[in-house]
Structure 1
Amino acid sequence: MTYSETLDWLWAHLPMYQEKGNSAFRPKLDNILMLCEHLGSPQEQFPSVHIAGTNGKGSSSHAIASVLQEAGYKVGLYTSPHLKDFRERIKINGKDISQEDVIAFVEKNKDFLEAHSFSFFEVSVAMAFDYFSKQKVAIAIIEVGLGGRLDSTNIISPIVSLITNIGKDHTEILGNTLAEIAQEKAGIIKPKTPIVISEYHKETAPVFEQIAQEREAPLFFAHLIEAPFSMDLKGHYQSKNIKGIVQTLRILQEKGWKISEENIKAGLSHIVNNTHLMGRWQVLGTSPKIVCDTAHNAHGFTEIFTQLREESFSTLRMVIGFVKEKDLESILPMFPKEAVYYFCSPKIDRGLPVKLLEEKASNFGLKGISFCSVKEALAKAQEEAQESDFIYVGGSTFVVAEVV
């Protein structure tokens, strides 16, 4: 098969959460354990760092990988979802897995994959573990897909784990309260393995304290530590992420990983160049200023609107679209009524129909026009904007994927 044919086979044969939603989520680890056993348990062949959280886990994963690259290590990085190409999920020192390696993995294991009911995510995780093992990475940074306890990545035995923050997202799967969601995220805490929490919250802290104590895992709340570094990733929220990142790096240093202060400074200053991260307060244009961001829940938008208040502009124009299961009743009231809206829907099955979005937005006093595609919406916003205006593009990772 060609690379395109291989991806078509994966899409057609494996239920994908990004496309199908909750029906594709597998709340158990049996399948991933079976698949990795078939592959020779590659997840046991390299050291790792495990990262979970409602928001910020992607930025934190890329930042830690960047620092370790600057320290001279061969670093595997697994994240999800991808924006443009499936291969973005699996990287070594910032370079995507090759098309040939993706094809070879599928062709070699196709019969086994067809004989069992694996999800797309399970296969992508197993592929990453297999690739990192074969390429003999010095360390791999593994980002949780959804939740933690029952996420397919949660079969590794990391050196240290990091939970960035807890917010209300995927409540239909993870729970309706912050404490319930924290319980699921805390599922990545391993016995006697250090766990770092980037943001302190009085409702979730007791959950982490109890589980860490039960598992004899050293617990570090990072919100009070000094982090005298800056990141090339823009956005107000990175000031919270950086504390968990630095605390995690400090633990790696204590465990003998050779990471200098200069490595940390350089790594955090060159995250985009080292890892090719996209979609985090990414500037797409300057006249007018156009920024896209993958924030997609109330917690994320709290940070986005804090950042927007620090920007100077004449008119705020917002190109937004969502997926169907988002809790718009809690998200849309946060959006400014004085902004001009360009409603759209990402090109996936889960995309919220644009007319429904326009109707719901109108209920909260948000006025705008609907468009058939994200690109059409952005083009109209650009056409109507003055140089002093600000255009924001977001609402979903899949909206951002269509403009970066």
Structure 2
Amino acid sequence: MNYQETIDYLYSRLPVFQNIGARAFKPGLYTTQELCRSLGDPQNKYRTIHVAGTNGKGSTSHMLAAILQQAGYRVGLYTSPHLKDFRERIRVNGAFVSEDFIVQFTAGQKSNIESLNPSFFEVTVAMAFDYFAQCNVDVAVIEVGMGGRLDSTNVITPEVSVITNISYDHMQFLGDTLPLIASEKAGIIKEGVPVVISEYQNEEVSAVLTGKANEVDAPLSFSSERFRVESIGMEDGRSNLNIWDNISGKLAWAGLELDLTGSYQTKNIAGVLSVVEILKSGGWSISEDSVYSAMKSVVKLTGLKGRWQLLQTSPVVYCDTAHNSAGLSETIEQFEMLPHTRKRFVLGFVGDKDITGMLKLFPVDADYYFCQPSNTRALNVSELSLTAAKQGLFGKVFGDVNEALNQALSEASSDDIIYVGGSTFVVADLKNL
């Protein structure tokens, strides 16, 4: 098989969550462990950092990878889902996994694929682990797919675990209360391994996370209690931040520039810097200069896309992959703060989400352009339009995001602002991403 035939085989042979949702969800570690065992347990051949959370885990993973790259380490990065190219999931120092490796790996694992019937995600996790070993990485940053306890990535014993936050998402799999969801995320906490919680949320969630950490004697810290992040404006298209140490009361990081300009990144950056401190205390060589230079260029170093990404100016168009109420509330608030004459939203969703709760976050005094992602889990755009109308949100219906955005642009003045999102897969469909 050539590369395209291999990708077609993986998609057709394996259940893919981003396409079929619940039917592809395969909790448990057995199959991943078997795949890894057949490969000689590559995940044990290098150091790892494990990142979970409802929102922010992708950005956090990319920031950590950028810092470690700038510090001189050879860094693997595994994230999901991809936006444009399957190879985005597996990178070494920002470079995509090669097509040849994917072909060779799949051919070599075909008998296991046929006998074990793994999910698409389980195969991609094993593929990443093997690729990182063959590339002789020093460290790999591994983003959890969903939850933590039963996620396929949870076969590693990392140097440090990170949980960005706990919010409502994937409740049919993880539970319908924050403590239940927290319990699933806490499943990545390993015996004796330091764990960083990027933001303190409430006593119930804190009790779950602290309880699990105490149970396995894992040092736990809440980054939002350690650091206070102060935004001091924008400079050359980057957020300019002062980071205060709450323990000493001193300025820990002055004028830290970050090219990820979403307001929600102020929560993620505290967690990232806490991880850096833990790694340095464990003997890792990470200079201040490497942190400063990495944060300026996360996108360039790692290829991150779709996080509060400016697509054009005049009119201003932003896209964001926020796809649950907690994430959308942050991006909508930031969007509405932009100078504007009119607000325009290009929106689409997948069909297995509580879109009523999300639609309640959007303003009534705006123009709407409804669409649906090409993904097979897409919510039918006519259904979206009807549901939105019940919330007082009225707009036009389009077959895909590019048609919808083109219409929004044709109706907008240069002083309007346009937001594109609702689903990761809507953003992925953008031609000019």
TM-score range for the pair, normalised by the shorter chain length: over 0.9
**How far did 1:306 drift?**
2.2
Counterparts of 1:30-49 in structure 2, within 5 Å, are 30-49=30-49
**Aligned residue for 1:67?**
67
- Alignment-derived partner of residue 19 in structure 1: 19
Q: Deviations over 1:152-186 (max 9, x none)?
A: 00000000000001100000100111111000000
Aligned to 2:210: 209
Instruction: Tell me the alpha carbon deviations over residues 31-51 of structure 1, each in whole angstroms, 9 at most, x when there is no partner.
Output: 101111111111111100000
Q: Which 4+ stretches in 1 moved above 3 angstroms?
A: none
TM-score by length of 1: 0.99
* Matched residue, 1:377: 404
Give the SS at the match of 1:168. Answer: coil
Which residue among 348, 367, 374 is the counterpart of 2:375? 348
Deviation at 1:115, TM superposition (A): 1.8
Alignment of 1:244-255 (within 5 A): 244-255=271-282
SS in 2 for 1:162: strand
Distance 1:112 1:209 in 2: 39
The secondary structure found in structure 2 opposite 1:334 is: coil
Match of 1:391 among 396, 418, 430: 418
SS in 1 for 2:360: helix
Q: Who is 2:220 aligned against?
A: 219
Distance 1:308 1:391 in 2: 9
Distance 2:149 2:22 in 1: 16
SS at 2:58's partner residue?
A: helix
CA deviation string 1:73-96 (max 9, x = no partner): 000000000000000000000000
Counterpart of 2:265 (choices 231, 238, 243) is 238
Q: RMSD over aligned Cα, in angstroms?
A: 0.8
CA distance in 2, matches of 1:111, 1:216: 40
Aligned partners of 1:116, 1:225: CA distance in 2, in Å?
A: 45
Deviation at 1:109, TM superposition (A): 1.3
Distance in structure 1 (CA, Å) of the matches to 2:287 and 2:310: 31
Counterpart-to-counterpart distance in 2, 1:159 and 1:36: 19
Equivalent in the alignment of 2:290: 263
Identity %, equivalent residues: 50
**2:131 equivalent in structure 1:** 131
- Partners in 2 of 1:30 and 1:336 — Cα distance? 46
TM-superposed deviation, 1:373: 1.1
| 1:3-402 mapped onto 2 (5 Å cutoff) | 3-202=3-202, 203-226=204-227, 227=243, 228=253, 229-402=256-429
Query: As a proportion of its length, which structure holds more strand?
Result: 2
1:329 deviates by 2.2
DSSP-derived class of the 2:201 partner: coil
Q: Aligned with 1:49: secondary structure?
A: strand
Whether the aligned pair in 2 keeps the contact of 1:232 and 1:272 (CA below 8 Å) is yes
The whole-number CA distance in structure 2 between the counterparts of 1:306 and 1:345 is: 23
SS in 2 for 1:230: strand
- C-alpha distance after superposition, 1:203-235 (max 9, x if no partner): 311111100000100001000333333311011
Give the Å deviation of 1:374.
1.1
Partner amino acid for 1:354?
V
In the alignment, the residues of structure 1 paired with residue 163 and residue 22 of structure 2 have an alpha-carbon distance, to the nearest angstrom, of 23
Q: In the alignment, is the contact (CA less than 8 A) between 1:236 and 1:306 conserved in 2?
A: no
Deviation, structure 1 residue 309: 3.0
Q: Is the CA contact (8 Å cut-off) linking 2:200 and 2:225 kept in structure 1?
A: no
Structure 2 Cα separation of the partners of residues 150 and 224 of structure 1: 29
Tell me, yes or no, if the aligned pair for 1:54 and 1:164 is still in contact at 8 Å. Answer: yes
Aligned length in residues: 404
Tell me the TM-score normalised to structure 2 length: 0.92
